[in-house]
Amino acid sequence: MGQINSTDFLPSEGIRYARHFSLSEVGILGQKKLKAARVLCVGAGGLGSPILMYLAAAGVGTIGILDNDHVELSNLQRQLLYTTDDIGKAKVQTAKNKLLQLNPELNIIAHEFFLDKTNALSLVQNYDIVVDGADNFVTRYLINDVCFHLKKPNVYGSIFQFEGQCSVFNVMGGPCYRCLYPAPPPPGLLQNCAEGGVLGVVAGLIGTIQATEVIKLILNTGDSLHGRLLTVDVLSMRFKEYAVQKNADCCLCIQKQSFESLAYHDLLVCPYLASSADDEITVQTLQDMQRKAMDFILLDIREPHEYAICNLGGQLIPFAQLEKKLSVLDKNKNYVVHCKIGERSRHTVNLMREKGFVSVRHLTGGIKAWAKEIDPTLPAY
């Protein structure tokens, strides 16, 4: 195994990483690589929890955590970095504290903001590898695009209900995420975990695989998942593997489209992220409308299980069923539409107006904003 140099590792680290030192594929040299590595994890939630915990335990020297969310009770079913006492706290700061308790010799950098086009390049260039623990398509494509342009490996994972998938992109001249999925799906077409649910252990399974892939990339050992998509259905407990090749029409790998010109970053291409003042109302305005008994219909487009957790008394028509049921609604009535955080409802405004509804607005921030600003007793999820 060789001699551990005291200038490379503290005595406590010699004990901490003893099982790594015993592995020929890791050893002293490999542990030094881990200690020198800089890894950014985008998202400190379901996937981020196992990713961060295993990277910290493995001794990855610098770990960046990017998230702008706070711990909620509904997180605890799968986000094992947090406990009930952490509810309401910022995730990145809480995660940083927990990781330093696990391994105090690390450099943990907390980035308490959302990744966007204005900060992505400057942030990612400071790291060797990016791990995708995001829970939305906009961030997922942004991670891929900035990694492609900066030539950084992108360790991808996603989960939904009882299924998960993972891969590694932008490695050894291999494909990128857009080779597999060229463009984001239309807004509202696919549910996210908050809408469709997820079995908590799926996050642990996929996140642990992602952490494994990061460690293998740092050590330059084993066969990485680049060029392969690994999927799992935990109900049948079957893993499947699919080959991923460069897409002949990929706007990045083949067409070499610039980072600045990528269309999906523009809010106009993502209607659920764009709206005008005429499209929306605040929770304070909705409360005032209710107090004054104004004539309007409150339309709740969440899923039935979300409605059962908490609701504002609106008429429930799940988004997936909305287009079929618009014919039974009076187009001349005044509508206020809401969902959990305002994404589905923004898209609904456009849809209903296209179908001839004259007065439709959506609730900014959704029922989550109502719980935060109007009624803190409303259960959060």
Question: Which neighbouring-strand residues pair with 163?
Answer: 160, 233
Mark which of 209, 238, 270 sits at the end of a domain.
270
pLDDT in tens, 232-270: 999 999 999 999 999 888 989 999 988 888 865 433 333
- Mean pLDDT score, 225-235: 95
Query: What backbone phi and psi angles, to 5 degrees, belong to 221?
Result: -135, 155
- Rounded to whole angstroms, the Cα distance separating 90 from 70 reads 4
Same domain for 364 and 256? no
Write the CATH number for 215.
3.40.50.720
Q: pLDDT by residue (tens digit) across 28-84? A: 999 999 999 999 999 999 999 999 999 999 999 999 999 999 999 989 999 999 999
Indicate whether 350 and 233 sit together in one domain. no
Say whether both 178 and 261 belong to one domain. Answer: yes
Q: Are residues 52 and 172 both part of a single domain?
A: yes
Catalytic member of 41, 193, 250, 270: 193
* Contact residues for 42 (Cβ-Cβ < 8 A; gap 6+): 66, 67, 115, 130, 131, 132, 133, 134, 139, 143
Both 229 and 157 in one domain: the answer is yes
Bigger pLDDT: 121 vs 274: 121
- CATH number of the domain within which 295 lies: 3.40.250.10
Residue 31 lies inside a defined structural domain of this protein: no
d(CA 28, CA 199): 38
> Is 41 known to be catalytic?
no
Confidence of residue 298 (pLDDT cuts 50, 70, 90): very high
CA 315 to chain centre: 30
Q: Is residue 9 part of a domain?
A: no
Q: Is 2's pLDDT higher than 90?
A: no
Query: pTM of the predicted model, to two decimals?
Result: 0.74
Task: Kindly state whether residue 381 falls inside one of the protein's structural domains.
Answer: no
| Active-site residue, selected from the candidate residues 166, 176, 253, 339 | 339
Task: Return d(Cα 218, Cα 228) in angstroms, integer.
Answer: 19
- 166 catalytic per annotation: no
When comparing pLDDT for 151 and 191, which is higher? Answer: 151
What digits encode the pLDDT tens for the residues 206-219? 999 999 999 999 99
Residue 313 token pair: 């008394």
What per-residue confidence (pLDDT) applies to 230? 96
Q: What residue numbers bound the domain in which 80 lies?
A: 37-270
Is there a single domain that holds both residue 351 and residue 282? yes
Q: Is residue 183 part of a domain?
A: yes
Q: Which of 243, 270, 297 corresponds to the end of one domain?
A: 270
| Final residue in a domain of this structure, among 270, 304, 334 | 270
d(CA 254, CA 64) in angstroms, rounded, equals 31
What the block records as the tokens of 163 is 């299924």
